[in-house]
Structure 1
């Protein structure tokens, strides 16, 4: 890791950062200020990463935030980071609602999609591949279903002609 530098200290000296660091109660924000202060003190990035037990990319992000916008930007949690941009969903909101409605109201057999009596991620994944030409992992399908308000439970079967006492 190359030596990190604070290119713009925004009027902060090491002692002033230490005072601000003591005031911060939230651990993540405290860690950010500590990382920047240690860089200003001359520590190497590798040393700071091992001392604070953080990822090196986090260290680079903290220094970049401080260099760009100073103390306020370093403490701002709403700052989008380039590496954490959200991917666009595979299905539009309308398609997701249609999928949810279909799963809730029908079975794979009703949709002429196999002999299964209940939906699972494997079947939903194959359905998406066939109808929307979308390839998703089973975990991706699981997470999408959770986002739209569905969760997996084992199907319960009720016998139509059963003795209630047994």
Structure 2
């Protein structure tokens, strides 16, 4: 009788669940309670048999609460809060050549990475630097180039005469 009641409880949770991964966990338990093997369940939900066994063990040990997903906090930060603040202040208040780089005006993700490596030691991927900059409240844009001295008559002649000629060939 308990199995039928438990199955009804799990089925109710499945119907209410909006998160696909939690639904999958409930479904695995539901199918197990209906007598399906771990291999059958794995094939049904598209997971490995090992994953199904993990769900079943979590359910046996802590019930429905054991199925809840734990979120990883991620790897520990490689720079201390003080180092991050120093980095932010350097980027905001100076240009690269003032801290020893050849680039005169613009900080790039690559230059920030080189600065971090030189000053603090750790190396970061460009994506990691981008994420850190975002966490520090910094944003960046890719530069666009404009011509300093534009001769509009020459541009119009190129657009209307030269370019169509080149395009035909």
With the length of structure 2 as denominator, give the TM-score of the two structures: 0.67
Partner residue of 1:35? 28
Query: 1:37 Cα shift?
Result: 1.4
* Corresponding position of 2:159: none
CA distance in 1, matches of 2:54, 2:116: 37
Answer with 1 or 2: which has the greater Rg.
2
Shift of 1:147: 1.4
Higher mean displacement: 129-138 or 10-19: 10-19
Q: State whether structure 2 residue 25 is matched by structure 1 residue 18.
A: no
Q: Partner residue of 1:5?
A: none
Evaluate the alpha carbon distance shift between residue 134 and residue 60 of structure 1 in structure 2; reply closer, same or farther with a 3 A threshold: farther
Listed one character per residue, the Cα deviations across residues 68-115 of structure 1 (whole Å, up to 9, x for unaligned) are: 2111332x45xx36xx34211011112111111111111111111222
Taking structure 1 as the reference length, what is the TM-score of the superposition?
0.68
Work out whether residues 118 and 155 of structure 1, in 8 Å CA contact, stay in contact via their aligned partners in 2: no
CA contact (8 A) 1:17 1:37 kept: yes
Structure 1 gaps of 5+ residues are 1-8
Give the total of aligned pairs.
148
Contact 1:10 1:70 (C-alpha < 8 Å) held by counterparts: no
* 1:2-21 Cα distance to aligned partner (Å, 9 max, x none): xxxxxxx9996434422443
Structure with bigger helix share is 2
Shift of 1:153: 1.1
Question: Hey, what's the Cα distance between the residues in 1 that align with 2:51 and 2:140?
Answer: 35
Q: Deviations over 1:92-143 (max 9, x none)?
A: 1121111111111111111112224211111111111111111221211111
DSSP-derived class of the 1:109 partner: helix
> Which of structures 1 and 2 has the larger relative contact order (alpha carbons within 8 angstroms, sep 6+)?
1
Unaligned runs of 5+ in 2: 153-169
Contact 1:109/1:117, CA 8 A, preserved across alignment: yes
